[in-house]
């Protein structure tokens, strides 16, 4: 039985970004059924901090999980990834590029800080953060291999330093968890 991964727009993110997220996930995880979701998920306003001008990432991800269950039947062996144009944070950090809640089966990337004048550089950053957060959903932690997509990024500069590939150790861990990684996404 294959796993299902929904890719959902959050707020009014452009279709190109959501399409790129879906494409990279289908390429990286060929055994997954990667399905785009029409219509955006709109987070509860309580998740927005008007003083900071940011969305609380964990609240958005949890709300996304509940929405996916309610409106798309996302239950066992189903995960959902949200793609948001907004800026996200968690308490204790100024911002996050994304967050994963493995127990809820939900993750969100926030593209606000990934933007640049180069569309290709922007989409490259999106691919890396999408794979990073889904890697967390699948059970991976942060990796010490700087080029591995699972390495921690505290700045967009650090996002640019890593690749959209899993190192041998992370790929082996995924394999032990029953997840095959596409050849184009192995270091």
Q: Which of 20, 124, 129, 133 is catalytic?
A: 133
154, 95 contact by CB (below 8 A): no
Provide the token pair at 152.
């921690």
Q: Which residues of 44-58 are buried (b: 16+ CB within 10 A; e: fewer)?
A: eeebbeeeeebbbbb
Residue 14 CB neighbours (<10 A): 12
Please report how the helices 119-137 and 15-28 are oriented relative to each other, as an axis angle in degrees rounded to 10: 50
Question: Dihedral of CA 141/81/17/88: which sign?
Answer: negative
144-153, long-range: CB < 8 A, 24+ apart: 145/169, 145/170, 145/187, 147/187, 148/187, 149/185, 153/97, 153/129
Residue 78 CB neighbours (<10 A): 18
Based on the residue annotation, tell me whether 133 is a catalytic residue of this protein. Answer: yes
Q: Which residue is associated with the tokens 């907004």?
A: 86
Residue numbers annotated as active site: 133
């Amino acid at each position: 039985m294959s796993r299902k991964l929904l890719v959902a727009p959050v707020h009014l993110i452009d279709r190109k970004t959501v399409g790129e997220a879906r494409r990279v996930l289908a390429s990286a995880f060929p055994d997954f059924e990667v399905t785009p979701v029409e219509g955006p998920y709109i987070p509860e306003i309580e998740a927005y901090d008007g003083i900071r001008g940011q969305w609380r990432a964990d609240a958005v991800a949890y709300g996304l999980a509940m929405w996916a269950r309610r409106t798309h039947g996302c239950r066992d062996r189903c995960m959902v990834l949200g793609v948001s144009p907004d800026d996200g944070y968690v308490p204790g950090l100024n911002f996050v590029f994304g967050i994963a809640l493995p127990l809820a089966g939900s993750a969100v990337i926030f593209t606000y800080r990934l933007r640049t004048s180069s569309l290709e550089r922007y989409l490259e950053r999106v691919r890396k953060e999408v794979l990073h957060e889904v890697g967390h959903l699948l059970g991976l932690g942060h990796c010490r291999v700087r080029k591995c997509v699972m390495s921690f990024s505290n700045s967009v500069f650090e996002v640019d330093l890593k690749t959209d590939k899993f190192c041998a150790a992370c790929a082996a861990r995924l394999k032990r968890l029953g997840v095959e990684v596409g050849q184009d996404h192995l270091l």
